[in-house]
Amino acid sequence: MLKQTVLITGANKSIGFETARRLGELGYKVWLGSRDPVRGEAAAQTLRDMGHDIRVLQIDTASDDSVRAAAERVQREDGRLDVLINNAGILGDMSAPSETPLSTIKEVYEVNVFGPIRTTQAFLPLLKASTHANIVMVSSGLGSLGWLNDPTNEFASINILGYNSSKSALNAVTLSFAKELAASGIRVNAADPGYTKTDFNQHSGYRTVEQAAEVIVRLATLDRDGPTGGYFDENGSIPW
């Protein structure tokens, strides 16, 4: 029986790395996506030393050429992809919305929104070659308009124009792909890993990467009867 294959973008550290470790434990062949091949190889070797089947895939999700080349390599070596986890993302400028330069908002959208679109479109033929495939968009609770508009919610006071709106946009992207791909049997869902202690937030989060990876792994390993077009944290559905 062929091993299930998974590509995780931005997987050389933090939540992406932990997700790779968890799926490696489950027997998946992992394509560890990394912009920097040196850092990617160091992370991959750590996982190989644990006994996991890991290959580094150089991929910059903000680059058409890089994503195209990455998809061509996976096509040559595997001919299919069972799971795509769009994990790569950046925080960007945290100034007040009225003071945030448009140029920095564009940079955030290039990675957080256009990156997952670009990567999903490029790898879709490989996902369709799978007997059943899952796509996970790693979103954030800061993308939930319902939560951000609820003064009792912990995220309501975090008003980062670029990042928050990019994750709201990514949620909309999730739903669009889910609608199109439902007939193909490909499930597409958004995951909120929670406020996790990583380099991303200068380790200010209160959750561990182990906790954060839980919902991502759960959505990555859905069977054919699993949900699609949803937005979930580890406790279940959350408001758009």
Q: Which residues are catalytic?
A: 163, 167
Alpha carbon separation from 7 to 41, 138, 200 (Å, rounded): 15, 13, 21
| Count of beta carbons in the 10 Å neighbourhood of residue 75 | 16
Query: Nearest-5° angle of CA 18, CA 157, CA 141?
Result: 30
In the block, residue with structure tokens 């670029």: 162
Q: What does DSSP say about strands 53-58 and 29-34: parallel, antiparallel, or unpaired?
A: parallel
